[in-house]
Each structure stands twice: as structure tokens, then as C-alpha cells.
Structure 1
């Protein structure tokens, strides 16, 4: 097949649109977490801790959910600890297991950031779609997520 035919493949357009939409959304949402003194990764981790049972996750689970290496999640939690937004906790009876735990200050920061963040999501993402389009998008994203991350913990 010739390069001109390959370049006309609609799959390239689909991927290009996905990448452009992601890049644009990050640019529109970034001011909401920056205003709260957070990076996007900080917000992602705090949201995952907030939505987890007991507002805690094993460090290994937080690493898997954020797609960070062991050293990457250690640096992330170090930063969140310095900010007072999370702390480490050992598991009683098993000193090898360590949890990242959301602090009260972390909960307060999430409460501070979420209203603007949700408003921006509504303005630049979910509010641009009809309910039917949004339902179809969410269903499609779940199919793709489950295929590329079959071990992902569902937080529906």
C-alpha cells in the first residue's frame, strides 16, 4: 500500500483527534489545579486516595493507578507529604506494606479545587456533548480502558 493511501486512513484522523482533544483539555483544566497549588499528577493521586476505601491506597496500588514506577510514586508521595496533603502509614503486622493516606488538609484541598475543576470539565468536555453522546463516549472509553488496562481497578 502506498504512503498516500496509508496517510488517508481514517484511523489516523481518529487518533489525531483524540490526542488533540486530550492536549486541549489538559490546557483548559490545568489552571484549576494550579490555582490550588497542585500539579495534574498531584490532583490525580489525591482524587484516587479520596475515592478509595478509607481514603488510603497501598503505595504499589497508587503506583499502578497513576502509571508511575516505584520510585516515581515515592517522589509523588514525598511531595504530597511535604505539602501536608498525604502521609505514609505502615500496615500493622507487615512492615513491608505501606499505604499512602489522605490527610485532612488533603481533603480540604480537594474540596477547594473540585468546584472549579468540575466546572471546567463541564464547560470544556461533558457539557459539549449531548447526554447520548456522553453515554456513548463513556461506554467506548470503558471498552478501550478495559482492553489496554485489564487489571485497572474500576472507580465508576
Structure 2
């Protein structure tokens, strides 16, 4: 009955994708927690700030594609652990920015090698250059369609 929504092949690919992303998220979460006591969310914030420098809070939310409430809770926890600091007025969220502390930079330096090794091992090892390009093109196309769809809904 449900197969009428997707072809059999599409259904199998979709299910494999869901299993892959769930297992990958779990593996990354475990690796980061064991190696350096960071969550995957901590790591995502640290990487975004390291790559882009200090960001206004709304820009960080856009970069991570996170809802404001999720980001606020995450930043509060990370500030409490000395990983990030907030600059600007608590009354004006539009003007507030967030940046890495020395502790945040150290945590990222400790976490990055193990994280990169895990991603390389489970995602890319054994993948031919042609498959890698095809996978990259597919991921980019889906992300673009999602961005376009979201832009249409908010316009």
C-alpha cells in the first residue's frame, strides 16, 4: 500500500539513507563523547565559529539551519562550559554575537582529528572518485532544493 508513494527502488534507497544517517549521527556522537566529552551539537557550533569567526546569533542559526530556541539552549550550555562567549546586549538579540573562547578552540583542536578520521573511514574510504563526485552532486542538489523550498515558504 505504501509503496505507491515511492517506487520500490526509491523506497529502498530512502530506507538505506535513513539508516545510514541515523547510524552516522550515532557514531559521531559516540566518538565525540568518548574522545573529548563534546556532543555533536557542540562540535557543529565550534566548527561553524572556527570557520566563519565571530557571528551574530541569527547568522550562526542560519549557518547551522537550527531553530532559534535550539541555538539559544545550546549556546547557554556551551557558555557555561567556557567554550563560547556572547558579546553584546542580552536585550538585543539581533546585535549579540558569539565567538569561540580559548577553551572552545582547544576543545575543537582535540575533537577534530578523531572526528575527521571517523567521517573519512565510514563515508569516503573505498569510494571511487566518480562515486565521490556523484555523492557530492546529489547532496548539493538536495540541499539546494530544500533551500529553494524553504525560501518559497517564507516569502
TM-score between both structures, scaled by the size of structure 2: 0.83
2:40 and 2:27 mapped to 1: Cα distance?
Answer: 12
Structure 2: 5+ residue stretches without partners:
none
Higher strand content, 1 or 2: 1
Higher helix content, 1 or 2: 2
From 88, 105, 108, give the equivalent of 1:107: 105
Please list every run of at least 4 consecutive aligned residues from structure 1 whose deviation after the TM superposition is greater than 3 angstroms. Answer: none
CA deviation string 1:101-156 (max 9, x = no partner): 1111111111100111111111111114112211110111011101102489xxxx
Q: Is the 8 A contact 1:28 1:124 kept in 2?
A: no
Number of equivalenced pairs: 146
1:74 and 1:146 mapped to 2: Cα distance?
Answer: 26
Q: Is the 8 A contact 1:122 1:128 kept in 2?
A: no
Q: Secondary structure at the match of 1:97?
A: coil
**Structure 1 residues 32 and 5, CA, compared in 2 at 3 Å: closer, same or farther?**
closer
From 117, 128, 131, give the equivalent of 1:130: 128
TM-score between both structures, scaled by the size of structure 1: 0.83
